[in-house]
Amino acid sequence: MQETIGYQMVLVSKAHRNLVSSALAELGLYLGQEILLMYLWEEDGLTQSELADRLKIEPPTLTKMLNRMEKSGLLERSRCSEDARSYRVYLTEAGQALQKPVHQLWHEVEKRILTNLTVEEQLLFRRLLMQVRNNLT
């Protein structure tokens, strides 16, 4: 079993998770929060349901994440003017300020992942990862 690609993927995922988690902690973030922030940096004011769909998580999980991030002062929620049952999520100044450090962190992780791979290997690796993801979804 330890020779399977699936097992190797688990080991790679754990190593990536540990590396990113440690780096995010230095920014005061928990793993996964940076992805939520990335969506809001692209399109501030998404509804909670839009965020849950994009993050591929259940609404209660998102609510816990939003509560924690709101308490940290990274975002705020306000009732949706079109639908009073919905909330829109907006970045605060503190949430906006994390964009550059988080992007830098992701570029550093990417650089580490691709160390010792040629440009051709990097392109092939990316294409293969995308194909494997498509196979699994």
Q: Write the pLDDT tens digit of every residue in 88-107.
A: 999 999 999 999 999 999 99
DSSP summary character for residue 83? -
Q: What three-state secondary structure class fits 36?
A: helix
Half-sphere exposure of 36 (CA within 13 A, CB side): 28
pTM, 2 dp = 0.86
Tokens of 46: 């998404």
**Domain span at 61:** 5-136
CATH number of the structural domain spanning residue 23: 1.10.10.10
Say how many domains are in the chain: 1
Residue with tokens 């940290």: 72
pLDDT tens by residue, 106-123:
999 999 999 999 999 999
